[in-house]
Amino acid sequence: MTPSPADTLALVCEHLSDDLSGLAVRRWPLPPLGPGDVRVAMAAVSLNFPDLLMTRGLYQVKPTLPYVPGMEGAGVVLEAGPSSGWRPGQRVLLGGKHGLLAEQVVMSGAALRAMPAGLAMDQAAALTVTGLTAWVALARLGQLARGETLLVHGARGGVGQACVQVGLHLGARVIATATEPARLDALAALGVLVLPSAGFRDGVLEATGGRGADVVADPVGGNVFDESTRCTAFSGRLLVMGFASGRIPTLEVNRALIKGFSVLGVRAGEYGRHWPDRHREHLAAVHRLAEAGVLQPAIGAHFTLAEARAALAAMAARRVTGKIVVTLGEAIGTAPA
């Protein structure tokens, strides 16, 4: 048997920085393979906003430096420990708080999942974080019901697009906002009302006959959150999913009292750590929706590992509609058999 390599090429965060200057592609040590571990050749890693925030020290998870970014990806098992439950050649999804932006990774077999049928590697890599967030937010916490109105902010991004897809699947009427609504023609073609993110309140109230949105999915925060409180329906649910705007808003709670709406924080991963059985149910639901073509991650741009720092810069500048994927190996356009 060929001995396992001692290291791999990876994007390494050497020190925290606002301008990504702390990132470099270099060799990174691989731990020895334990009996329950697997070694995976990464094919694609999907970037998420927390990846960027971690490199700046602005996320609640603060890895010990140096560390390798990357929360979710897809690849092929190269080597499997005898008690890992996997075998070489299997296509798998990987997830964690960081560590995946590398050509190869070694991790516990318990952290892997079989790839849903019919997905290309880049789509599979981009499925879990956004799909799980959308499903937990809307189906579990928001209790979105058929016929209700769903307002989705940040609809150009991965979380926003997943929320639109899940909302339509659940039978909601969907309104989406974005800084450049003209770039969301595909959503408009599905019957989604697309509004500019500046001054959306009047459009939402007009579209709902003055009632407002029953559920608001907000990964943006800042002024978008402030304005959302003014167009949430009585007994509505305002889902706090992140602060891509850079400002964490505050709420005058008399507004929630008067309008009777709830404000719910969405941390799909943490939710799963508190309720593992529900987490498994949610992951199974996301996989079913992906295999049925309901959840279809929209890939906006591909970068190589050598370009990974530029990929994070593109995310920071909001230059890409949809998901940004770093490709590392196998042909990304080929779906599994």
User: HSE (CB half, 13 Å, CA atoms) of 280?
Assistant: 4
* Residues 310, 203 share a domain: no
Query: What is the tally of structural domains in the chain?
Result: 2
Q: Which residue, 254, 270, 286, sits at the end of a domain?
A: 270
- Total-model pTM: 0.89
Question: How do strand 72-80 and strand 37-46 relate by DSSP bridges?
Answer: antiparallel
Cβ-Cβ contacts under 8 Å for 156 (sequence gap 6 or more) = 178, 179, 180, 183, 184, 318, 321, 322
One domain for residues 165 and 220: yes
Chain segment 82-139, per-residue pLDDT in tens: 999 999 999 999 999 999 999 999 999 999 999 998 899 999 999 999 999 999 999 9
Single out the residue in 270, 287, 316 at which a domain terminates: 270
Q: Is residue 36 part of a domain?
A: yes
What was the pLDDT predicted at 331?
A: 41
**Same domain, residue pair 105 and 164:** no
DSSP of 211-231: --EEEEEESS-HHHHHHHTTS
3-state secondary structure of 39: strand
pLDDT tens by residue, 319-332: 888 899 999 975 44
Instruction: State the DSSP code for 98.
Output: S
- Considering the domain architecture, whether residues 121 and 138 belong to the same structural domain is answered as no
CATH assignment at residue 64: 3.90.180.10
Statement to judge: residues 18 and 64 lie in one domain: yes
Q: Residue 307 pLDDT more than 70?
A: yes
Determine the Cα–Cα distance for residues 208 and 231; give it in Å rounded to an integer.
10
- Same-domain pairing of 75 and 189: no
Residue 171: partners with Cβ closer than 8 Å, 6 or more residues away: 145, 146, 147
Residues 93 and 28 both lie in one domain: yes
| Domain co-membership, 17 together with 116 | yes
Q: Are 154 and 222 contained in the same domain?
A: yes
In a domain, 302, yes or no: yes
The CATH number of the domain holding residue 251 is 3.40.50.720
Find out whether the peptide bond into 66 is cis, omega within 30 degrees of 0. Answer: yes
Residues 162, 98, single domain; the answer is no
Write the secondary structure of 58-81 as one string of H (helix), E (strand) and C (coil).
Answer: CCCCCCCCCECCCCEEEEEEEEEC
